[in-house]
A and B are shown apart, each in its own frame.
Chain A
Amino acid sequence: AVLAKDPYAEECRNESYPPSGPRFKGNAPVYIINLDLPPSKRWDQLINDKKVQLKTLTDTMRGIMTAFFPSGKVVHILEKELTLLSATLPYPFREEIEGIAKASGIPLGEIVMFNVFYEIFTV
């Protein structure tokens, strides 16, 4: 069964560009990040526009962890440790992450987790 033909695979597509139809969910909006601004201010406009969606994502990540560790203690410890971890991150990333946390109103530990998720996830 494992070696059987993939039932969902399809023939190579042709002339699918420019994208349209049910697979196309829209264009990514464009933002300018001004590197002349202090790191803590660079992301303010973008985060102001996306903070609701960002909060939804961090809440879901917290929910998934809570599902694995229902007492909530692990999540609490992790968030506390990740808040401390932010102080060790190099310039300008620490300042930018702190700026994002401030602009979004999301706890710093959760923004740090979002930013180091790749390192956590690669096992």
Chain B
Amino acid sequence: CTSIVAEDKTGKLYHARNLDFGLFLGWDVKNSSWTITEELRPLTVSLDFQRNNKTVFKSSNFAGYVGMVSGMKPGIFSLTMNERFSIDGGYIGIFQWILGKRDGMWMGFLTRAVLENSTSYEDAKDQLTKTKLLAPAYFILGGNRTGQGCVITRSRLSTLDIWNINTNGGPWYVLETNYDHWEDPFVLDDRRTPARRCMDRITPENISLPTIFDVLTTKPVLNKLTVSTTLISVTDSRIETYLLGCPDPCNPW
């Protein structure tokens, strides 16, 4: 996955993500594609969760999955989740859950609860930072005013790092793939460097959802695992999800 939160020169925030999934889950030799990735694409939907006929939050999701991986509370905050691999992974959390130790939360259920119940960027950040999890994750959070954008790097039990935009001389955007931002990405899976190179060319003067879309659809940020691209503007209460493929020649991840 690749998630970006960026701030333009007026302080307006944009949030976007590529959802990549299906690595090593069946390779279709004939069509040169990952089987699960291809099968997730027709399950991708945009959801509008309503109560009393009013929108509570919106998300981009898979039919049949009740958790959230990308969503927005209109006018308040946006949230995406990127996978974080670790030896201290979710299987340990699942074993503990089965054995009765149930003080951690399932990742998708936490993001859903945050989108449904949190009332501000700070509240969402607090929930995503302090709640124990069953599996490690990256939470990418955007708000509705200047400086409200961050990447929260989570282990199962604690927050390892919070990387903020535009505060204390910080960057004008944060960009997360599937590696800790303070370490180099795996050499065979470096989508971060090309994505950053494209973002740096855009600058805060020209950043917008269309220019972020340009970044996310540039190979190898776009790759054979990419199911969809979601664009979010909290201020405009706008969330758009496009199904994408990566025609050959294209990186398998």
A107-123 interface code vs B (CB 8 A; 1 in, 0 out): 00001001110111111
A31 to B245, CA, bound (A): 23
B160 beta carbon closer than 8 Å to chain A:
no
Q: Of the candidates B45, B50, B85, B91, which one forms a contact with A119 in the assembled complex, judged by CB atoms under 8 Å apart?
A: B91
Known contacts A10-B218, A19-B217, A97-B66; A28/B243 CB under 8 A? yes
Which of B5-13, B35-43, B140-148, B164-172 is the contact stretch? B35-43
List which A62-81 residues lie within 8 A (CB) of chain B.
63-64, 81
Known contacts A57-B43, A85-B98; A24/B108 CB under 8 A? no
Beta-carbon contact of B134 and A54 below 8 Å: no
Beta-carbon contact of B36 and A61 below 8 Å: yes
A23-56 interface code vs B (CB 8 A; 1 in, 0 out): 1111111111111100000010011011001101
Known contacts A16-B214, A47-B63; A123/B244 CB under 8 A? no
A78 to B203, CA, bound (A): 50
Beta-carbon contact of A28 and B44 below 8 Å: yes
Residue in chain A with minimal CB distance to B59: A33
Known contacts A8-B250, A12-B214; A28/B109 CB under 8 A? no
Residue in chain A with minimal CB distance to B201: A12
Give min CB distance, B61 to chain A, whole Å.
9
B149 beta carbon closer than 8 Å to chain A:
no
A30 to B187, CA, bound (A): 38
B29 beta carbon closer than 8 Å to chain A:
no
Q: Chain A CB within 10 Å — which of B97, B137, B194, B217 has the most?
A: B217
Q: Of the candidates A7, A88, A115, which one forms a contact with B67 in the assembled complex, judged by CB atoms under 8 Å apart?
A: A115
List which B188-233 residues lie within 8 A (CB) of chain A.
188, 190, 194, 197-198, 201, 209-211, 213-215, 217-220, 222, 228-229
Known: A12-B201, A33-B50, A119-B135. 7 other contacts (CB 8 A): A9-B251, A12-B215, A17-B209, A19-B244, A30-B46, A53-B42, A122-B85
Instruction: Sample 10 A-B pairs with CB under 8 A, ordered by A number.
Output: A31-B48, A43-B64, A43-B66, A57-B36, A90-B109, A93-B106, A118-B83, A119-B94, A119-B107, A123-B87
